[in-house]
C-alpha cells in the first residue's frame, strides 16, 4: 500500500514524501507526517551488521518509500563520502562510563550536516519529477545556516536563502555563513532572535501573494529547517547506527535498551530518536536537555508550553529557542493522530503564547521522554570537569546534555550523550570554561589559544576561515525578510 504524508493539523491533502520534501511546510501551516510511521520496523540484526551508509538506505527506504532503492543509494553515496573526516561518519566513543555520539565530523562541524548533506540529494531527485526551480528559505540559530549553505551551494535549479539573528551566533558560526561562496546563495542577518526569524519564515511560506508571484517565474519555496521531513528523516540514521556501534563494542547486548540524552532547541534532533524508537530501536528513554531557555523542560514536567518568558542569550546559542517547532509532530503521534487537538494547541500558541495538553497526553509523552536543564554556569563546570576527568573537549551544547546525563539516576541502560558541534565553533566560551579569559580575543585568537592550552587541533574546516573573504553583509528587520527572499529569487533564477 502506498504511503502518504499529510499535515499535523488536518487529514485533508495527501502528498508523497517527494512532494512533502519539496513543499517543506503543509499549506495550513502544519508539519508533514505519515501515519505509516512504525508500521515497518528495521531488522536490528541487519542494522548491527551494516555500515552507516547501509543503515541510511534502510531508514530512508522506510520513511520515504516513493524513492526507489537506486535513487536512495545514489543519494547516500553523495551525502556520506569524502566530505566526512571520520570513516564511521558518526562515531561513538567512550566518555567515562558513558558514551559520546560524535555528530560533528561533516563539512561544517555540526550535527546538521548529517541531514543537510542528504537533503539536497533528496530534493534534487524530487525536483526531477516537478520541473520547478526551488528556493530554500531557512532560519538558523547558528548551525543550520552554514550546513544548508554548504549542502545547497552550486546545486542546479536550487537557491538557498539563510536568515540568522544578528549578534546572537558565535564568531565562528557568523564567519561560516558570511564567507559562503556560490552564485545561488543569499545570507541576511535580522534584527531579532531566532524565534522571530523562524516565525517570519513560516509566514513567508503561507504568503499566497508571494507564492503566486514566484510561481509565475516557475519558482517554489521550500525549507531546510527540521520542519522539512527530508531534513528529519536522515537524522534517524545515527540513532540506529550508534546502537550498532554499541553492540559491536560489547557495551549493549543485542536487544538491550539505550538512553539518549539530547541537547535540544527546535526538538528535531530528539524527535529523530522518537522516530527510531517507533521503528524498532530499543530506546529506554529520550532525555531532552535544555539551556536557560528551558521552555521544553517546563512543558515535559507540567504539560504547559509557555513561550511568554524572557529570551536568554546563552553560550549555547543554537538552543536559544522558545518555539520548538518539531514538538508539533510529537503531539500528533502521542495523541494518536488527533489533528483537531493539534490544530487547537497550535492556535493557542499563536494567539496566547501558551497551551496545555490533556493529562493523559502528557503521561503518554513522559513514558518516553525525560528532561533536564543546565544554565551557563553548569555548562562551564561540565566542560571543565569533562576535560579534567575524561580529557575530552566538548562544546557548550554538548555540555548541557552531559550535565543533564550526569544527574540521571542509574537504570542499567547504556547512556549516550549526543555531541552536536565541534568545541572549536565556540572557542572563546570553551576557553572561558577552562579558566582562561578570552574576552579580548577574536574567534581565531581564541581558536589558537584553545589549541595551545589543550594540545588539540582545530578542524581545518574552521581554521581555514581566517583566510576567507566576507561576502554577505545584509541586515534587515523581520518585516523585510519576504522582500529579501523575493529579490534573492530574482537574482538566483535570472
Active site residues per annotation:
112
Of all helices (H) and strands (E), which one includes residue 407?
A: none
244/42 Cα distance (integer angstroms):
12
Cell of residue 352, nine digits:
496566547
Backbone angles phi, psi at 254, to 5 degrees: -50, 125
Give the separation between CA 299 and CA 357, rounded to whole angstroms.
9
Count, in order, helices (H) and strands (E) of the chain.
23, 15
Where would I find the beta strands (DSSP E) of 89-193? 92-95, 98-102, 133-139, 158-165, 185-190
Q: Which of 177, 438, 132 is nearest to 315 (CA)?
A: 438
In whole angstroms, give the CA distance from residue 230 to residue 222. 11
- Read out DSSP for 310-337? -----S-GGG--S--TTHHHHHHHHTTS
Q: Which residues pair with 33 in a beta bridge?
A: 6
Q: Rounded to an integer, what distance in angstroms lies between the CA atom of residue 115 and that of residue 172? A: 21
Contact 183, 436 (CB under 8 A): no
Amino acid at each position: 500500500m502506498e504511503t502518504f504524508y499529510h499535515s499535523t493539523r488536518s487529514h485533508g491533502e495527501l502528498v508523497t514524501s517527494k512532494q512533502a520534501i519539496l513543499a517543506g511546510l503543509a499549506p495550513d501551516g502544519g508539519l508533514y507526517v505519515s501515519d505509516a510511521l512504525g508500521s515497518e520496523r528495521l531488522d536490528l540484526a541487519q542494522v548491527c551488521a551494516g555500515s552507516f551508509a547501509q543503515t541510511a538506505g534502510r531508514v530512508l527506504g522506510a520513511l520515504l518509500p516513493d524513492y526507489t532503492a537506486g535513487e536512495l543509494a545514489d543519494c547516500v553515496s553523495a551525502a556520506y563520502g569524502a566530505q566526512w573526516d571520520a570513516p564511521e561518519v558518526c562515531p561513538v566513543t567512550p566518555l567515562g562510563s558513558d558514551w559520546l555520539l560524535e555528530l560533528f565530523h561533516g563539512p561544517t562541524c555540526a550535527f546538521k550536516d548529517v541531514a543537510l548533506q542528504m537533503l539536497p540529494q533528496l530534493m534534487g531527485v524530487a525536483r526531477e519529477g516537478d520541473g520547478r526551480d526551488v528556493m530554500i528559505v531557512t532560519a538558523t540559530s547558528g548551525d543550520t545556516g552554514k550546513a544548508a549553505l554548504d549542502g545547497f551551494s552550486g546545486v542546479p535549479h536550487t537557491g538557498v536563502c539563510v536568515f540568522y539573528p544578528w549578534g546572537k551566533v558565535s564568531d565562528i558560526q557568523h564567519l561560516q555563513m558570511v564567507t559562503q561562496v556560490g552564485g545561488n546563495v543569499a545570507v541576511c542577518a535580522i534584527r531579532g532572535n531566532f524565534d522571530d526569524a523562524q516565525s517570519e519564515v513560516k509566514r513567508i511560506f503561507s504568503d499566497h501573494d508571494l507564492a503566486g508571484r514566484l510561481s509565475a517565474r516557475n519558482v517554489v519555496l521550500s525549507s531546510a529547517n527540521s520542519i522539512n521531513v527530508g531534513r528529519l528523516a536522515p537524522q534517524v540514521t545515527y540513532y540506529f547506527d550508534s546502537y550498532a556501534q554499541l553492540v559491536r563494542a560489547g557495551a549493549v547486548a543485542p536487544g538491550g535498551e539505550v538512553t539518549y540524552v539530547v541537547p535540544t532547541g527546535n526538538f528535531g534532533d530528539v524527535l529523530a530518536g522518537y522516530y527510531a524508537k517507533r521503528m524498532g530501536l530499543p530506546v529506554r528513554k529520550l532525555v531532552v536537555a535544555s539551556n536557560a531557555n528551558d521552555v521544553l523542560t517546563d512543558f515535559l514536567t507540567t504539560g504547559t508550553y509557555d513561550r511568554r518568558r524572557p529570551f536568554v542569550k546563552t553560550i549555547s546559542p543554537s538552543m536559544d529557542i522558545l518555539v520548538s517547532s518539531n514538538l508539533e509532530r510529537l503531539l500528533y503521534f502521542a495523541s494518536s493522530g488527533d489533528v483537531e487537538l493539534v490544530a487547537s494547541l497550535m492556535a493557542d500558541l499563536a494567539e496566547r503564547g501558551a497551551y496545555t495538553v490533556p493529562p493523559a497526553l502528557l503521561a503518554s509523552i513522559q513514558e518516553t521522554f525525560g528532561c533536564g536543564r543546565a544554565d551557563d554556569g553548569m555548562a562551564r563546570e561540565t566542560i571543565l570537569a569533562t576535560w579534567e576527568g575524561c580529557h575530552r573537549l566538548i562544546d557548550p551544547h554538548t555540555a548541557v546534555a552531559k550535565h543533564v546525563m550526569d544527574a540521571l539516576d542509574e537504570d542499567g541502560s547504556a547512556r549516550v550523550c549526543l555531541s552536536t558541534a565541534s568545541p572549536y565553533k565556540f572557542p572563546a566560551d570553551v576557553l572561558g570554561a577552562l579558566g582562561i579569559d578570552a574576552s579580548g580575543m577574536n574567534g581565531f585568537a581564541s581558536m589558537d589559544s584553545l589549541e595551545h592550552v589543550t594540545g588539540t587541533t582545530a578542524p581545518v574546516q574552521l581554521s581555514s576561515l581566517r583566510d576567507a573573504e566576507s561576502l554577505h553583509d545584509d541586515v534587515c528587520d523581520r518585516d523585510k525578510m519576504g522582500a529579501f527572499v523575493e529579490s534573492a529569487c530574482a537574482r538566483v533564477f535570472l
